[in-house]
Amino acid sequence: MTAYEKVMAARDSGKLTAVDYIANMFGDSFIELHGDRRFADDKAVVSGLAMLYDMPVTVIGLEKGRNTKERMERNFGQAHPEGYRKALRLMKQAEKFRRPVLCLVDTSGAFCGIGAEERGQGQAIAENLMEMMALKTPILTILIGEGGSGGALALAVADEVWMLENSVYSVISPEGCASILWKDSTKAPQAAEALKMTAQDLFDLGVIERIIRQPKADDKAMFESLKLLVSRTFEKNLAMTDEELTNARYNRFRKLGAGI
């Protein structure tokens, strides 16, 4: 697959979304929690508590919706500031109970609009980056589709970041990049190549720790092994002291682009 074919696969409306992962991994144990306690409940973010085997976890996902109606409701997975604030509220709550946090990222980016700007989209993302870096509980992020720039990063300051084999993660969409740099959005395939945005590229750049096989809806064995991987990672990180954990997270990002 070319880089742009992977972009298309990551955006494919038929693929599994965050709610599918939550259902397959946590079943009935999932309790959805709503609202940022400040302004609203952003439906682009689905979040709550769940049991991973016998381990309580906090789950936060960017949800695109599985059909037209859901997609409208979920704003196509593009969160407003209140979505990022809801996520942070649940992360701080997880920290209080030292409960690991699993983030599922699938968004073309943070929403660009009047309300989003008025309510401080930049400030909301910035605060998440800062607070996640020092959160005293394990965080694991899995990119399950599109990872669009700051809107994805706001849920991806984690101890480890994993990507599905057909997911992408980039500072800008290939279309946006091509139209800004080359004034021609049809050059998106070249931009996708140049941006190095596929899971394999990011693994090679040292930006992610693991590439996950693409699961299908009824792929019970695949979800079971994913659950096992996640719980082992959480167990390993729960055994660390707060200081060891946050130092390791800081150093994980500190080394990126430092070798100049």
Partner 1 sequence: MDLFSFRKPKNELESLPDEQQNVPFIPDEMWIKCPKCNTMLLTTDMEENLHVCTKCDHHFRMNAKQRISMFADGDSFVEHDADMESKNILDFPGYDAKLEKARAKGSKESVICGECKIGGINTVLCAMDPDFMMGSMGTVTGEKITRAFEYATDNSLPIVVCTAAGGARMQEGILSLMQMAKTSGAVKRHNDAGLLYITILTDPTTGGVTASFAMEGDIILAEPDTLVAFAGPRVIEQTIRQKLPKDFQTSEFVLQKGFIDAVVSRSNLKDMVVKLLRIHGYGVEEAE
In the complex, the residues that contact partner 1 under the rule CB under 8 A are 110, 112-114, 116-123, 125-127, 129-131, 133-134, 149-150, 153-154, 156-157, 169-172, 177, 180-181, 190, 194-197, 201-202, 205, 207, 249-250, 253-254, 256-258, 260
Minimum separation from the CB atom of position 188 to partner 1 (A): 13
Is residue 49 helix, strand or coil?
A: strand
Output 50 or 191, the one with its CB closest to partner 1. 191
Radius of gyration of the chain from its Cα atoms, rounded to whole angstroms: 17
DSSP letter assigned to residue 166: T
Would you state the structure tokens that stand for residue 95, as one six-digit string? 């920290």
Give the E-state strand segments of the chain in sequence order: 31-32, 45-52, 55-62, 101-107, 139-148, 160-164, 168-170, 210-212
Residue 146 near residue 167 (C-beta atoms within 8 A): yes
State how far the Cα of 50 lies from the Cα of 33, in Å rounded to an integer: 11
Output 55 or 203, the one with its CB closest to partner 1. 203
Minimum separation from the CB atom of position 157 to partner 1 (A): 5
Output 47 or 170, the one with its CB closest to partner 1. 170
Output 62 or 125, the one with its CB closest to partner 1. 125
Minimum separation from the CB atom of position 167 to partner 1 (A): 13
Minimum separation from the CB atom of position 217 to partner 1 (A): 29
